[in-house]
A and B are shown apart, each in its own frame.
Chain A
Amino acid sequence: MRKFCLVLLFFMITVVTLAQTQVRYAGFSFSGDYTNIPKRYKYTNQLFALKNSDGLSVLEQEFFHMFKQNQDFGNFKLHFSNTATKLAMTFTIHRENVDFEQLGDRVKLIYNLGFSLYILDYDEMRIVQSYPMKVSYLDIIKGSPDSVADSYIVATIREIIKNQVINNLPLLVGKVYIAQSGTLSMKVNEISFSYEVKKLIAVSGWDESNYANLIANQATEALAFDLNVSMLPYAKDYAGQKMALSFSDASVQNFSIPTASYDLAINVDKFYKALHSEKNTESVYIYGAYTSVKIFDSELGDEYWNNEVKYGATKLIVKNQAVDDFANFNEVLLVTIGRSLVEKFIADKELMNDKKGKKGVIRRCQNF
């Protein structure tokens, strides 16, 4: 009897453990309005439409093979069959920007792509976790913006995805965890800008809400990958906290974004530029970004952490060289709410406290 009980107990524990860690691969998907996919993801959509000899999407297949070879995630294994599990993982594109800049007889192409690895709960149709990542690429070719063929951009995006995404993902999958019972979650709830910063954003040509998205995804990415915090996606753009994902089989699913345990608010207070040193042919400038970051509970109204996070970096500028100040401000801001924010959190003993009954806020949200 004892033997039987032991075997049965072992079997049941194994079943429970496996049931909790099975995640199905749901494929590549596009985020946002279904009808706007050809417009919003003009080039990626064309790339996605490229089929191989078997009639399958080339891009979809590349992601499939990469994940097939890297099935072991932080605390779960990815399954590719029709496993009876409520959890699924999708790799989603949520941003595609290709900007042109004429430089004499050449044209500069600036590629900015944003992706997210979402863990989805199909039973409750909600997004459980989000691991965003962004890639940027600069290209200079002869000609004018009008002379650049779509096919050239599509091919470049394919190379970017292959080199910067598909090749890097195997290094990141080990950092992707499913939140366990008792682990709390965090979400970037609010991104705001001071009046001066708003003016600079407007002058730079950025749309304010798009820029807020970029900042929010940067913070989410840093906290998810570098601090292993269970993050929910920033969703200011989506009505009613709903996100539509369109999958490769042309199906569209609406997922809700649940309320997070903690909310994060980031206010960009100011950008700073000052001359550091000067020589005959070059000058060194300091570019800085000041932000106020708050961890709070939007429902209960409590504030857990409120501090200034800032970062500065020097830039060597050759005299008479045209300088895009906003590009430099943007660069330091991304570091501020990326690396600096993570360092600031780690340095705060209260946030990282791990004593029983006295856990810090960040520690409560970490997946270990």
Chain B
Amino acid sequence: MSKLLKNALIYVFMICIICSLTAITKVKVKGEVETRKKKPSVEEIKQAVNNGKEQAIRKWAATLESQRLQLMNSLIPEILKNLDLYVLEASQLSDGEWINGKWQVNLEVSINDSQIDLLANQRSQSNRQKQQDTYLSFIYVAREVSSVETFDNTVIKTSASSNSSSNRTTNDNDRVEHTKVSGNTDIITTQVGQASSNTQVDQQTDSASTSLKTRDAIDVSGKSFNRDEDTSVAVKVISSASLDKTRSSSSTTQDTNVQQEFQGRTDTNIQTNGNTVTTTVSSNTTNRNMDSSILSKSLSAGSVVKSSEGIAYRVFNPQEIDSKVTEIFNKAGIDVVPAYEANITSEQLAFDFASIGEVSSSTQKEATDLARDAGLDFLAIGLLDLGREEIDPVTGQYKIYARVNGYIMDLRKRFASKICSVGPVQYSGLGENPSVAKINALIEASTKASQDLVDQLRVKMGM
């Protein structure tokens, strides 16, 4: 009787412990057992349920991040040995059915996450006991946008006048044209319109030398033209004859005929007949005729210079995350040494991060040297980049994104080497005001990054 009571007590005590620790993840799987019987025996049903539990563990592990999965893979044999400890319950969703020599049953399996975490930490600790104490120090620096300077567009306008006149006739539906004259005549025609367009440019000139120069400079770029789909045509006519020169010979007239036809590929024929330059580009479906007896008298042009916004950053040492990150490293059995113990200050790293967006080699070298001199095994560095606040469309709360980059330097060998790294990864934090959202984003980003780094470290170290 007293033995029975003792057992019952132990059972209830275990339930208490499990209830207080439990973080349950539910996984749906099909458990199966090979059998010839359509109505399986009790033993076979048990086997199918056990099979389902095993599959549930594997399915759950498959959802973990790669480093955690790698760590979990080494633990799975041990978990499978004590399935009842790590699987709280397996509820049957169906009565089961026999298909092709297998009896299958749908199960909803509740996995005890906390218990598995406990196992991972125990494994890490026991491995650590076999090894020497491991000392690590971490420095996490963060930056946020303090001000953004935007610039108005710089508009540059130039104009030139000539006594030329321009006359164009086109059948295009939509058209964008840019004409720029700067010393030399430089006509750029960019056109967006229907596939069937006709353009004809006629230029006549009495001056042989001018016509030759004009011929040399005519350039029709229509290679990218697609007669069926893309209806943009760019025609660039560059005449080296300056407007001043054209104006000085008042009798000069230009009459250039440009006929364009595109036929799968672009063919350009420039025919010089006396003083006339004719460019022909053939096509089945697209004809462009542009009559330009002479260039316009007054031409103006300009350019717009758009400057990128100037962003100034404010850097800070996020104290809020210190205890959380320390907890993660401690749970993994790593002794965390405060950075000041190794005379490493975060200011230099912060300065680099604010100015160049990363930690410079010299600063890194300085920090690793100090850490090595202090007898540390590892130095973890995390760089957190906070975005600007925005309103979350779902909750209406403030939302801030945090991008994190982190790595751990191994200082045990002659040369410091990066043995694990994470990022850049983005996380977000929500809050009723921007500062709460910021802290939440920092905690989320640093916790996830640290957990990933710890998992990688465990794998590398065999912890």
Is B106 a contact of A2 with CB atoms below 8 Å? no
A320 close to chain B: CB less than 8 A? no
Chain A contacts for B24, CB-based, 8 A: 124
Q: Which residue of B lies closest to A12 (CB)?
A: B12
B62 close to chain A: CB less than 8 A? no
Q: Which residue of B lies closest to A6 (CB)?
A: B5
B461 close to chain A: CB less than 8 A? no
Is A261 a contact of B2 with CB atoms below 8 Å? no
- Tell me the residues in window 89-105 of chain B with beta carbons closer than 8 Å to chain A beta carbons: 89, 91-95
Expressed in whole angstroms, the Cα–Cα distance for A235 and B19 within the complex equals 29
Expressed in whole angstroms, the Cα–Cα distance for A258 and B396 within the complex equals 22
Decide yes or no: A12 and B395 within 8 Å by CB, A304-B94, A358-B95 being known contacts. Answer: no
B391 close to chain A: CB less than 8 A? yes
B139 close to chain A: CB less than 8 A? no
From residue B358, how far is it (CB to closest CB) to chain A in Å? 33
- Which of A15, A33, A258, A357 interacts with B26 by CB under 8 Å? A258
Expressed in whole angstroms, the Cα–Cα distance for A299 and B26 within the complex equals 12
Expressed in whole angstroms, the Cα–Cα distance for A300 and B92 within the complex equals 13
A322 close to chain B: CB less than 8 A? no
Is B396 a contact of A36 with CB atoms below 8 Å? yes
Decide yes or no: A184 and B9 within 8 Å by CB, A34-B397, A300-B30 being known contacts. Answer: no
Q: How does the 8 Å CB contact mask read for B4-35 relative to A, with 1 for contact and 0 for none?
A: 01101100110110010001101011100000
Decide yes or no: A300 and B396 within 8 Å by CB, A12-B16, A20-B19, A184-B91 being known contacts. Answer: no
Is A252 a contact of B91 with CB atoms below 8 Å? no
Is B106 a contact of A297 with CB atoms below 8 Å? yes
B393 close to chain A: CB less than 8 A? yes
Is B395 a contact of A124 with CB atoms below 8 Å? no
Expressed in whole angstroms, the Cα–Cα distance for A258 and B30 within the complex equals 19
- Which of B89, B95, B395 interacts with A181 by CB under 8 Å? B89
Is A184 a contact of B15 with CB atoms below 8 Å? no
Is A182 a contact of B91 with CB atoms below 8 Å? yes
A250 close to chain B: CB less than 8 A? yes
From residue B183, how far is it (CB to closest CB) to chain A in Å? 58
B430 close to chain A: CB less than 8 A? yes
B394 close to chain A: CB less than 8 A? yes
Chain B contacts for A239, CB-based, 8 A: 393-394
Expressed in whole angstroms, the Cα–Cα distance for A257 and B23 within the complex equals 16
Expressed in whole angstroms, the Cα–Cα distance for A6 and B4 within the complex equals 11
Chain B contacts for A361, CB-based, 8 A: 93
Is A364 a contact of B91 with CB atoms below 8 Å? yes
Decide yes or no: A182 and B89 within 8 Å by CB, A1-B2, A34-B395, A35-B396 being known contacts. Answer: yes
A24 close to chain B: CB less than 8 A? no
Chain A contacts for B45, CB-based, 8 A: 357
Expressed in whole angstroms, the Cα–Cα distance for A1 and B2 within the complex equals 8
A306 close to chain B: CB less than 8 A? no
**Dominant secondary structure at the A interface:** mixed
Decide yes or no: A259 and B394 within 8 Å by CB, A5-B5, A13-B12, A182-B91 being known contacts. Answer: no
Chain A contacts for B28, CB-based, 8 A: 259, 261, 297, 299-300
Chain A contacts for B12, CB-based, 8 A: 9, 12-13, 16
B54 close to chain A: CB less than 8 A? no
From residue B331, how far is it (CB to closest CB) to chain A in Å? 18
B1 close to chain A: CB less than 8 A? yes
Is A184 a contact of B8 with CB atoms below 8 Å? no
A123 close to chain B: CB less than 8 A? yes
Expressed in whole angstroms, the Cα–Cα distance for A302 and B95 within the complex equals 12
A194 close to chain B: CB less than 8 A? no
A262 close to chain B: CB less than 8 A? yes
Q: Which residue of B lies closest to A238 (CB)?
A: B394
Q: Which residue of B lies closest to A353 (CB)?
A: B95
Q: Which residue of B lies closest to A124 (CB)?
A: B23
Expressed in whole angstroms, the Cα–Cα distance for A239 and B399 within the complex equals 15
Is B108 a contact of A252 with CB atoms below 8 Å? no
Is B108 a contact of A261 with CB atoms below 8 Å? yes
Expressed in whole angstroms, the Cα–Cα distance for A8 and B95 within the complex equals 40
B432 close to chain A: CB less than 8 A? yes
Is B395 a contact of A33 with CB atoms below 8 Å? yes
Q: Which residue of A lies closest to B394 (CB)?
A: A239
- Tell me the residues in window 316-373 of chain B with beta carbons closer than 8 Å to chain A beta carbons: none
- Which of A5, A182, A364 interacts with B2 by CB under 8 Å? A5
A94 close to chain B: CB less than 8 A? no
Expressed in whole angstroms, the Cα–Cα distance for A358 and B105 within the complex equals 12
Is A244 a contact of B394 with CB atoms below 8 Å? yes
Is B9 a contact of A35 with CB atoms below 8 Å? no
Decide yes or no: A297 and B9 within 8 Å by CB, A5-B2, A16-B15 being known contacts. Answer: no
- Which of A33, A37, A181 interacts with B393 by CB under 8 Å? A33
Chain B contacts for A124, CB-based, 8 A: 23-24
Is B394 a contact of A261 with CB atoms below 8 Å? no
Contact sample, A vs B, 25 pairs, CB 8 Å cutoff? A2-B1, A2-B5, A5-B9, A6-B5, A12-B12, A12-B13, A13-B12, A33-B394, A33-B396, A34-B396, A35-B391, A181-B89, A239-B394, A242-B394, A244-B394, A244-B397, A250-B432, A252-B395, A252-B396, A261-B91, A299-B28, A300-B29, A300-B93, A357-B92, A357-B95
- What 7 A-B pairs come out closest when comparing CB atoms? A34-B396, A35-B396, A244-B395, A5-B5, A12-B12, A299-B28, A33-B396
Contacts A258-B26, A261-B93 known; 18 new A-B pairs at CB < 8 A: A2-B5, A5-B5, A5-B6, A13-B12, A16-B19, A33-B393, A35-B391, A124-B23, A181-B88, A244-B394, A244-B396, A261-B108, A299-B28, A300-B106, A304-B94, A357-B45, A358-B95, A359-B92
